[in-house]
Amino acid sequence: MAMTISGFAAIDRASEAASQLRARLADQTRQTSGGQRAATYAGLGGDARRAIDLRSEVARHESLARAAERGEARAAVTQSALSRLSTITTDMVATATALLSGGATQVSAAAIGARSALREVTGMINERYQGESLFGGADLDGTPIPGRVEDGNLFAAIRDAMKGMASGGGGALRATMRDLGASNDPAITPFSAYATAAANGEVEDSLASVPVSEGGAVEIGLYPNRNAGAMPSRDADSTGSWARDLIYSLSVIANLDQLGTTGGADYQQVVTGALGALRAGLSGVSDEAAGLGTAEQRLSDSRVRHSDLATQLEGQLSEVEGVDLAEAISRAQATQTQLEASYRSLAMLSNLSLTKFLG
């Protein structure tokens, strides 16, 4: 049977068909290698808007999950500092309790221990995480307690007051030292200018927080000279701030050797006042740790929830943007077969057309 060839137009049509098959195969190959329906949103047609919205939601939930994870890490470092503060204070409570019946040698040893504890307490309150102050309130870049407390005016004022105590003045001295510890006078307080201004209500001092939802956040920061989550102690020797209680009570014990006596009612008054402040400080530290633990749990729940939502949304996004890999491979193989057949047809047409032209 004779084959009819419609001149060079047949070759043009075969070439066009092969070109279309090549383009289709290239697109299908891209789909099988990348797993995506299209390289741009335009290629998704009517699903483009949904894909954009889903991708935005995935990014939002992933961002909130990462924020919660960072917040958990910061809270864990803060908990470590609070734990150390609790240990130091517990030891000093035992020391102060023993002082009520101790002698001159015990007072000297306690004073040395209190100075060491005071330096470590100050170091904990000045602790930083990734360059930011953990106990600085809104002042993340500053240092809550600049310099050494032992070299400051509060420590000197307590020392001088103890040196000048008159016989029978133990009760008055006890109250005086509590007032010194509570003072926001820049000439007395060991805290930074910013922390003092915040305590006086002169600047807005918000706590560091972590976003967990649209408009929702979990506070994880603490203050250096005020309680954040802890209830103010009702103890008569407390300043109302656990940090102030620790600093002034340790300063008192560090200067006990200035009293010139290790017995009697006056001595008992001074030591009992320091012990009350230590216990109030310890209670405040425990309360802050408990409040921070609640915040940590909320952050953990937020991280898990947003991670799960991001995973679910990624699945939906994959359905919109992705392809069935097995089906895509099958289509690509079929197109490859068609293209090879097209090439064979084109070669045959070219040969026949050339023979006719030459003949």
Q: Which two tokens stand for residue 157?
A: 């004022």
Q: Is residue 335 domain-resident?
A: no
pTM attached to this predicted model: 0.78
- When divided into structural domains, the chain yields a total of 1
> Does 186 reside within a domain?
yes
170: in domain? yes
Q: What pairing do the DSSP bridges indicate for beta strands 216-219 and 209-213?
A: antiparallel
3-state SS assignment for residue 132: strand
According to the model, what pLDDT value does residue 353 have? 57
Domain that holds residue 166: 54-312
Whats the size of the chain, residue-wise?
359
Enumerate residues 6+ apart whose C-beta is below 8 A from 223: 135, 137, 195, 198, 205, 207, 241, 243
Residue ranges of the alpha helices (H) in 200-263? 242-254
Asked if residue 177 belongs to a domain, the reply is: yes
Structure tokens at 75: 């809270």
What 3 state SS string does 170-201 have?
HHHHHHHHHHHHHCCCCCCCCCCHHHHHHHCC
**Does residue 328 sit within a domain?**
no
Could you tell me if residue 297 is inside a domain?
yes
* Domain assignment of residue 262, yes or no: yes
- pLDDT, one tens digit for every residue, the chain (359 residues): 444 444 466 666 766 766 765 765 555 555 555 455 555 555 556 667 877 888 899 999 999 999 999 999 999 999 999 999 999 999 999 999 999 887 667 899 999 999 999 999 999 999 999 999 999 999 999 999 999 999 999 999 999 999 988 888 999 999 999 999 999 999 999 999 999 999 999 998 999 999 999 889 999 999 999 999 888 888 899 999 999 999 999 999 999 988 876 678 999 999 999 999 999 999 999 999 999 999 999 999 999 999 999 999 988 876 666 554 456 556 656 666 765 666 666 666 666 655 555 55
Q: Is residue 24 part of a domain?
A: no
CATH of the domain at 241: 1.20.1330.10
